[in-house]
């Protein structure tokens, strides 16, 4: 059996932060672009580490208990989310991050990446995705800056989206070999890498015909049926996927990657990582696109659309289970449980 090559790829456009003004600065664009070193003037660059995250507490000194994603949710069955305290998780990542990390792994190894030129077509090593099980516990889409609003000053968020634009931020924190499956989002996204390195594969909207739109529901997102962690089990989807033309980005500490709305992308972490995704909508986009998304969320929450076929189907189950165990291993008070019950279902 011949080796599966998958889509034809090129390096994503990139520019050094020092040259950003020459192309119009930050802001919304129509194609992806990688800004090398964009975060290195931000306080987060010096301040944010896994050790720093272990020091975070509520104003009353209590530890935050939150939910953790368990494996890939964009494709296949959504596994139950785990509830647990943040500090031990961050402490474990801090210990792992202090150790050397292999450079000879990934969809593109570091050695091969160093030889690639802009405009050159190449293929990724999709066999790498069979070398590990994508079941790592992952802090995904966590509202850390809402929980600790004083930390917002560590990021120049308004620089990313100048003008009248409503923004919100999610933090992604986890070990190497965490995977975010292929999908696209309806808002623009500045993906900021604080610690660790990640690989991203991206496809412009004109490649949608090759990317197998899924019926699985995800608020603000559109998953694909293509499971990059298990392509050999999907001969039909893999064949279509191989016809696509995409882009590859290696996002390293200090980089910011612009992902336009409806740009398909998947993410594979090479190292323990801290990432911040900053989404932005104009007032008109809030009315037209945000309203549309909220309508379907309401219908979904009522159980009238994609019930059980969604990226969030197990949230309430885990919250209720945590509430039953209150006072045992969760150490959640009633207020904390009520806060967790506000997550989407």
- Residue-wise pLDDT for 63-103, tens only, equals 889 889 888 989 988 888 888 999 999 999 999 999 998 88
Stretch 329-344: mean pLDDT, rounded? 36
Residues 186, 293 contacting (CB under 8 angstroms): yes
Q: Is the pLDDT of residue 329 over 70?
A: no
Q: Is 144 contained in some domain?
A: yes
Q: Is 340 contained in some domain?
A: no
Residue 240: both structure tokens together: 């279509």
Residues β-bridged to residue 200: 249, 267
Q: Is the pLDDT of residue 267 over 60?
A: yes
- Looking up residue 317, the CATH number of its domain turns out to be 2.60.120.650
- Provide the pLDDT for residue 71: 87
Count the neighbouring beta carbons within 10 Å of the beta carbon of residue 292: 11
Residues β-bridged to residue 248: 11, 201
DSSP H helices, the chain, are: 43-47, 50-53, 86-97, 110-113, 144-147, 157-160, 235-241, 283-285, 291-301, 315-324, 334-340
Q: Provide the pLDDT confidence category of residue 341 given band limits of 50, 70 and 90.
A: very low
Query: What are the Cα distances from residue 342, in Å, to 22, 59, 170, 345?
Result: 44, 21, 16, 9
| CA–CA separation, 138 and 136 (whole Å) | 6
Quote the radius of gyration of the chain (alpha carbons, Å): 20
Q: Provide the pLDDT confidence category of residue 313 given band limits of 50, 70 and 90.
A: low
Q: Is 146 contained in some domain?
A: yes
Q: Is 46 contained in some domain?
A: yes
Q: Is 3 contained in some domain?
A: no
**115-159 confidence digits (pLDDT tens):** 999 999 999 999 999 999 998 889 988 889 998 999 999 999 888
For 205, the 3-state DSSP assignment is helix
Average pLDDT, the chain: 88
Q: Is 228 contained in some domain?
A: yes
| CA–CA separation, 342 and 326 (whole Å) | 17
Better-scored residue on pLDDT, 250 or 21:
250
Q: Provide the pLDDT confidence category of residue 332 given band limits of 50, 70 and 90.
A: very low
Q: Is 38 contained in some domain?
A: yes
| CA–CA separation, 139 and 321 (whole Å) | 19
Residues 83, 318 contacting (CB under 8 angstroms): yes
Stretch 36-64: mean pLDDT, rounded? 94
Length of the chain: 345
- Provide the pLDDT for residue 45: 96
- Provide the pLDDT for residue 142: 86
Residue 68: both structure tokens together: 């953790």
Q: What domain count does the chain have? A: 1
Distance from the first to the final alpha carbon of the chain: 43
For residue 225, give its domain range.
8-335
| CA–CA separation, 85 and 108 (whole Å) | 34
Helix/strand number for the chain, H first, E second: 11, 15
Q: Is the pLDDT of residue 205 over 90?
A: yes
Q: Is 2 contained in some domain?
A: no
Q: Is the pLDDT of residue 237 over 80?
A: yes
Instruction: Choose among 133, 140, 132, 134: nearest CA to 82.
Output: 140
């Amino acid at each position: 059996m011949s080796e599966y090559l998958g889509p034809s790829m090129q390096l994503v456009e990139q520019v050094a932060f020092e040259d950003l003004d020459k192309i119009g600065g930050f802001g919304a664009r129509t194609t992806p672009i990688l800004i090398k070193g964009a975060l290195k003037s931000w306080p987060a660059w010096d301040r944010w580490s896994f050790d720093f995250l272990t020091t975070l507490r509520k104003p009353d000194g209590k530890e935050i208990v939150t939910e953790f994603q368990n494996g890939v949710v964009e494709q296949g069955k959504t596994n139950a989310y785990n509830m647990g305290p943040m500090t031990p998780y961050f402490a474990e990542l801090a210990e792992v991050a202090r150790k050397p990390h292999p450079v000879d792994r990934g969809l593109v190894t570091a050695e091969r990446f160093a030889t690639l030129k802009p405009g050159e077509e190449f293929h990724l090593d999709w066999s790498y995705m069979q070398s590990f099980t994508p079941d790592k516990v992952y802090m995904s889409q966590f509202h850390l800056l809402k929980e600790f609003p004083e930390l917002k000053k560590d990021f120049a968020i308004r620089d990313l989206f100048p003008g009248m634009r409503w923004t919100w931020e999610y933090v992604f924190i986890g070990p190497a070999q965490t995977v975010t499956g292929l999908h696209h989002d309806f808002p623009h996204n500045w993906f900021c890498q604080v610690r660790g390195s990640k690989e991203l594969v991206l496809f412009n909207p004109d490649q949608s015909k090759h990317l197998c739109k899924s019926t699985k529901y995800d608020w603000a997102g559109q998953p694909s049926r293509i499971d990059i962690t298990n392509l050999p089990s999907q001969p039909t989807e893999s064949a279509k996927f191989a016809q696509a033309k995409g882009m590859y980005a290696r996002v390293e500490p200090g980089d910011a990657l612009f992902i336009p709305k409806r740009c398909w992308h998947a993410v594979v972490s090479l190292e323990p990582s801290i990432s911040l995704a900053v989404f932005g909508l104009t007032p008109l986009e809030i009315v037209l696109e945000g309203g549309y998304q909220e309508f379907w969320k309401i219908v979904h929450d009522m159980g009238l659309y994609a019930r059980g076929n969604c990226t969030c189907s197990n949230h309430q189950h885990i919250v209720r289970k945590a509430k039953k165990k209150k006072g045992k291993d969760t150490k959640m008070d009633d207020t904390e449980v009520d806060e967790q019950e506000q997550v989407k279902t």
